[in-house]
Structure formats: structure tokens, C-alpha cells
Amino acid sequence: METSHTYKPALIGGDTIVTLSDDGIHRQKRTDEASMGWDEIEAVRYLEGRGRYGAGMELHFRSTSGETLRLFRNDPNEADIEDSDIAFAELVLECFKWLSQKRPDLVVSLEQPKLFKWIFFLCGVLLLLVFIALTVVGILMVPDDFATGLPALFAGFAISATLMINYNPFKPPVTKSAYEMWTDLSN
């Protein structure tokens, strides 16, 4: 049975129509179209984010040939639930339902790509090295009045440690099956 969902991915721009069928996923925008068969899907990534200026949800499908089909919804005002928000949430739920039936072997990654984690981890390492260098310079230049710089030094160590712990690229990724995602999001 074929299902079709129409939603607006952002305030600016036209509607996106996504059709789910036995063959796979078909996305149609004003400017382009993309399709991917269920058997072609190699990896799935689901991301949710919230910030000061809104929220977003993304669902990425990567094929065995390296192509990516990306479904997303950005919402600058998360407090106002619009028809497009509901339509996109239903689409994501329906995608996981189809995936759990057609590709139960696939796992869904719930984290940012590895490159993203490496960038922030290395920023934490670099920040740690800068603060170690500043500590050495502070001790050598003003050995008697070093205590005044300690609060800033501890803050720098705390920030760098937070970056390195939260974006640790050596940590195994958080994953769930499509069926688990479908049941979790439908509740």
C-alpha cells in the first residue's frame, strides 16, 4: 500500500511530497526528485535538535552507492505546532514502520556523523593544549601572582574536558532498530 505525505521543510520554500511504497522512498520537491529502494538502503540516521532559535528533525538514508536521501524539517517556533510539523512527524513514523517491515536488519544511528564528533573532540584537545601553555607561561612570567588566573584556567579545563567527553569519537554510536524507533516514537 502506497502512502504519500506532504510537508513544508522550512518557512521559506515550497512543499515536499514524500511517497512510501513497496518499491521504496520517493521525494519530490519543486526543484528536484530523488528515489531510493528499500533494498538499496545501507544506513539510516535520525537526528533531533533544539536550540535557542528553534528545533529540527532529520532523517537521512544512505544507499550502497553512496547517495543520500535527506528528509528534514526546521521549525523556528517550536511552541506553535503547525500542520507541517504533524505531517513530518507522521512521515518519520511511517518511514520507521516501512523500514521495520522491509529492512528489519538495519539499525538507525542516533548521533551526528563521525566527522562532526572528530571536529569537536579535536577542538577540545586544542583548547586543552592552549590552556596548558597559558598555565606554563603564567607560572614563568608571574610566579607570585599565579592564583588570580586560576578561575579562568579551571574554566578552560572544564570546557575542553566537556568537549572531549561529549564528542568522544572512540565511543560506540548509539543505535536502535527501526522497529524500536517506530514503537518509541508512536508512544
Q: Is residue 177 part of a domain?
A: no
Give the model's pLDDT for residue 140: 82
Q: Same structural domain for residues 7 and 70?
A: yes
Q: Same structural domain for residues 78 and 26?
A: yes
Q: Is residue 47 part of a domain?
A: yes
**In the listed set 62, 86, 109, which residue is the last one of a domain according to the structure?**
109
Rg of the chain on CA atoms, in Å: 22
Contact 173, 111 (CB under 8 A): yes
Give the model's pLDDT for residue 120: 95
Q: Same structural domain for residues 76 and 119?
A: no
Distances (CA, A) of 81 to 48, 90, 168: 16, 13, 34
**In the listed set 109, 127, 146, which residue is the last one of a domain according to the structure?**
109
Q: Same structural domain for residues 18 and 93?
A: yes
pLDDT in tens, the chain (187 residues): 789 999 888 877 788 999 999 999 999 988 889 999 999 999 999 988 777 777 788 999 999 999 999 998 887 665 556 677 788 889 999 999 999 999 988 899 988 888 989 999 999 999 999 988 888 887 788 777 777 777 878 888 899 999 999 999 998 888 898 888 888 877 7
Q: Same structural domain for residues 29 and 89?
A: yes
Q: Which three cell numbers stand for residue 66?
A: 553512496
Q: Is residue 91 part of a domain?
A: yes
How many independent structural domains does the chain possess?
Answer: 2
Give the model's pLDDT for residue 81: 61
Give the model's pLDDT for residue 89: 86
First-to-last C-alpha distance (Å) of the chain: 23
**In the listed set 77, 109, 141, which residue is the last one of a domain according to the structure?**
109
Q: Same structural domain for residues 124 and 75?
A: no
Distances (CA, A) of 10 to 84, 122, 133, 156: 9, 32, 45, 37
Q: Same structural domain for residues 103 and 17?
A: yes
Q: Is residue 92 part of a domain?
A: yes
Read off the CATH number of the domain in which 32 is found.
Answer: 2.30.29.30
Q: Which range marks the domain in which residue 162 is found?
A: 114-166
Q: Which three cell numbers stand for residue 168?
A: 568522544
Q: Same structural domain for residues 21 and 96?
A: yes
Q: Same structural domain for residues 57 and 128?
A: no
Q: Is residue 154 part of a domain?
A: yes
Q: Is residue 179 part of a domain?
A: no
Write out the DSSP string of 58-124. EEEEEETTS-EEEEEEEES-TTS--HHHHHHHHHHHHHHHHHHHH-TT-EEE-S--HHHHHHHHHHH
Q: Same structural domain for residues 48 and 64?
A: yes
Q: Same structural domain for residues 29 and 44?
A: yes
Give the model's pLDDT for residue 79: 55
Q: Is residue 70 part of a domain?
A: yes
